[in-house]
Amino acid sequence: MSNKVILPGQTIGIIGGGQLGKMMALSAKAMGYRVAVLDPAEDSPCGQVADITIIDAYDSFEGIKELEAVSDVITYEFENISAEALDWLCSHAYVPQGKELLEITQNRITEKAAISASGSAVAPYAVIQTENDIYDNIEKLGLPAVLKTARGGYDGKGQYVLKDESDIAEAAKLLQNGPCVLEQFISFHKEISVIIFRSPSGEKAVLPVAENVHKDNILHQTIVPARISGKAAEKAIMAAEHLAEKLNLTGTLAVEMFLTDEDEIFINELAPRPHNSGHYSIEACETSQFEQHIRAVCNLPLGSMSLLKPAVMVNILGEHQEPLLARIPALYNWKVHLYGKKEAKFKRKMGHITLLRDHVEEALAEAEHTGIWSCSKERIGG
């Protein structure tokens, strides 16, 4: 527990200049903080709104030292910070989130072990080092199964769904990137997430349970309130609270879960930062996930996260940007967020939209009706 408070006027250093950094920075700026960001790109989304931009690799000691020199507190929007850079930062700078949780979540093997050790369920899995390990474990886990690289995968990258044994050789190519985990395929009823916050002084807050729809392993929609039973929602929040407690959370923890027909919960993945499935909170909650993250790392009192209105968030990937822009003049009461990324690559997260309506079904139908997500071609501009 710490009583150190970072006040508006002081500088928050953010490692990573993507959209999460940008939305953290916008909240921090609204509260009167100064923001410094470290990112290798010249014109990163966060760099466009920060007071100070340090352009260097995430694991460059020069860059990390420069960030430390101008910041009163350091946070991150990005998990893959090198162990050396993190060690240096934790001994030279004020990093209230510490490094343990970040290190655990950098690797699916340590992450699953920590979740299991805390008493929560994960999909049955095995650690895979060789192609033979896949053969051996397919017998135990059954098919279909999902092979995932232990490190560095995101948005479905570094994953392979095995449907039968003939897929093994192709899937095994993932081992070129290091050890993997093989998971039993869970035939879930819903994917949900819970984002939880804890300040250094021990105060806690949690966002309402979000229902998530993925397309091609990338988050497509978040629907809140989640269309699940009250009992399942209670169970999901308790699971996230339990993990936050066991993992000694300071800052933000996003917990992605699979919910089965029997309301059984399997924890799929953790992220120690604001999460795509919490973007709806910018407009739909009394305090957004980004403001709450800033409050937590600065040790300010946490805000209420009550839902103000049912909400649907839909991601804008590269192929959706043109159709969205073409329709903007006719979109009433749409909250459009574009992150300021120069190149609209296929499947790249370019922005998101949020609709607040009286019922989530109304918002879903309205989004669907525009055709933005169905008319897009595989090639941008095609």
Give the footprint of ligand AMP on this chain (CB under 6 A). Answer: 123, 146, 148, 156, 183, 185-186, 191, 214, 217, 256, 268-269
Is there a binding annotation on residue 135?
Answer: no
Tell me if 153 is assigned to a ligand binding site. yes
Q: Which residue has 């080092």 as its token pair? A: 129
Q: Is 185 annotated as a binding residue?
A: yes
Q: Binding site annotation covers 183?
A: yes
Nearer to ligand AMP (CB atom), residue 92 or residue 215: 215
Q: Is 124 or 323 the residue whose CB approaches ligand AMP more closely?
A: 124
Q: How far is CA 53 from the centre of its chain?
A: 23
User: Least distance from C-beta 212 to ligand AMP, angstroms?
Assistant: 7
Burial class (CB in 10 A: 0-12, 13-18, 19+), 173: exposed
Least separation, in Å, of the C-beta of 185 and ligand AMP?
Answer: 4
Residue 184 counted as an annotated binding residue: yes
Min dist. Cβ of residue 257 to ligand AMP (A): 10
159 assigned ligand-binding residue: yes
Considering beta carbons, is residue 114 or 123 the nearer one to ligand AMP? 123
Least Cβ distance, residue 146 to ligand AMP (angstroms): 5
Q: In what order do the strands lie in the sheet with 145-149?
A: 125-128, 180-184, 145-149, 159-162
DSSP per position, 225-249: S-SS-HHHHHHHHHHHHHHHHHTT-
Distance CA 276, CA 364 (A): 18
* Helix (H/G/I), strand (E/B), else coil: 10: strand
Tokens of 28: 């921090």
Between residues 250 and 268, which has the closer beta carbon with respect to ligand AMP?
268
Task: Please tell me the distance from the alpha carbon of residue 261 to that of residue 55, in angstroms, as a whole number.
Answer: 48
| 158 labelled binding-site residue | yes
Of the pair 58, 125, the CB lying nearest ligand AMP is at 125
Exposure of 275 in the CB half-sphere (CA atoms within 13 A): 29
Residue 328 marked ligand-binding: no
Q: In the structure encoding, which two tokens stand for residue 152, read together?
A: 């560095």
Give helix then strand counts, H and E, for the chain: 12, 17
For residue 285, what is the DSSP state? B
Nearer to ligand AMP, 112 or 198 (CB): 112
C-alpha radius of gyration, the chain, whole number: 21
Q: State the nearest-atom distance from the C-beta of 102 to ligand AMP, in Å.
A: 17
d(CA 175, CA 132): 11
In whole angstroms, the minimum distance from the beta carbon of 60 to ligand AMP comes to: 27
Binding positions for ATP are 108, 148, 153-159, 183-186, 191, 214, 268-269
Binding positions are 108, 148, 153-159, 183-186, 191, 214, 268-269
